[in-house]
């Protein structure tokens, strides 16, 4: 059982400090994953908060079939999809058309330390949402294709195809943005 799972089990048994451990361990990664759904970091932070609130209020059952991180990110992704569906029904402006906020750029600079990583992150932000999501899960979160498929709700073969197309789209975008491979 990984640390998140044991912390969640302790939280369910009444240890509130265990929930603080979960937030500390998974908050930043969850926010960055959720930012692949929405363009504003503030919205991603709100979605992450909603994810943690769901853990506290509904106390969903963790069955251990996937890693705790995969389970948590799946919950967050579902909350993000619900948010986007509700926004679409209200006729809200698609987040893809919004400019990055200063908060997002500040967080980006903190998390992605050198210029090449910042260029990569900005190029990824220009990709389709599903491409950003699969690339983020595989390369930045270090998840297996099986875990990424579970989070995105796809079969493994479909996730592999999506990852291949996402890598090709990222390569094209990096070239458009003037990224030089020799500097890696």
Distance CA 11, CA 18 (A): 5
Question: Where do the CATH 1.10.1740.10 domains begin and end in the chain?
Answer: 1-99
Angle between helix 16-34 and 3-12 (nearest 10): 130
Local confidence pLDDT in tens for the 184 residues of the chain: 467 899 999 999 999 999 999 999 999 999 989 998 987 889 999 999 999 999 999 999 998 888 999 999 999 999 999 999 888 888 765 555 455 555 555 555 454 445 667 677 788 889 999 999 999 999 889 999 999 999 999 999 999 999 999 999 999 998 888 776 554 4
Distance CA 90, CA 70 (A): 30
Question: Where do the CATH 1.10.10.10 domains begin and end in the chain?
Answer: 112-184
Could you confirm whether domain 112-184 is CATH 3.30.360.10? no
Where would I find the H helices in 35-153?
41-57, 68-90, 102-111, 115-125, 129-135, 145-152
Residues 6+ apart with CB under 8 A from 110: none
Q: What is the pTM of this model?
A: 0.69
pLDDT digits (tens, 9 = 90+) for 144-181: 999 999 999 999 999 999 999 999 999 999 888 877 65
Q: What is the CATH number of domain 1-99?
A: 1.10.1740.10
Question: What is the separation, in whole angstroms, between the first and last Cα of the chain?
Answer: 36
Q: What is the DSSP letter of 112?
A: S
* C-alpha distance from residue 64 to each of 4, 72, 116, 175 (Å): 11, 11, 37, 41
* C-alpha distance from residue 118 to each of 2, 160, 170 (Å): 30, 25, 14
């Amino acid at each position: 059982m990984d640390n998140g799972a044991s912390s969640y089990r302790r939280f369910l048994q009444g240890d509130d400090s265990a929930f603080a451990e979960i937030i500390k361990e998974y908050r930043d990664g969850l926010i960055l994953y959720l930012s692949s759904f929405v363009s504003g970091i503030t919205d991603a932070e709100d979605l992450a908060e909603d994810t943690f609130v769901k853990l506290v209020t509904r106390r969903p059952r963790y069955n251990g079939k996937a890693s705790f991180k995969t389970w948590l990110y799946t919950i967050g992704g579902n909350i993000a999809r619900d948010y986007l569906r509700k926004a679409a029904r209200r006729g809200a402006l698609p987040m893809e058309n919004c400019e990055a906020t200063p908060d997002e750029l500040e967080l980006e600079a903190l998390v992605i330390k050198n210029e090449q990583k910042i260029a990569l992150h900005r190029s990824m932000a220009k990709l389709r949402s599903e491409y950003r999501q699969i690339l983020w899960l595989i390369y930045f979160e270090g998840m297996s294709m099986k875990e990424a498929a579970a989070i995105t709700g796809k079969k493994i073969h479909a996730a592999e195809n999506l990852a291949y197309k996402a890598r090709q789209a990222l390569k094209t975008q990096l070239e458009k943005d003037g990224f030089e491979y020799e500097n890696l």
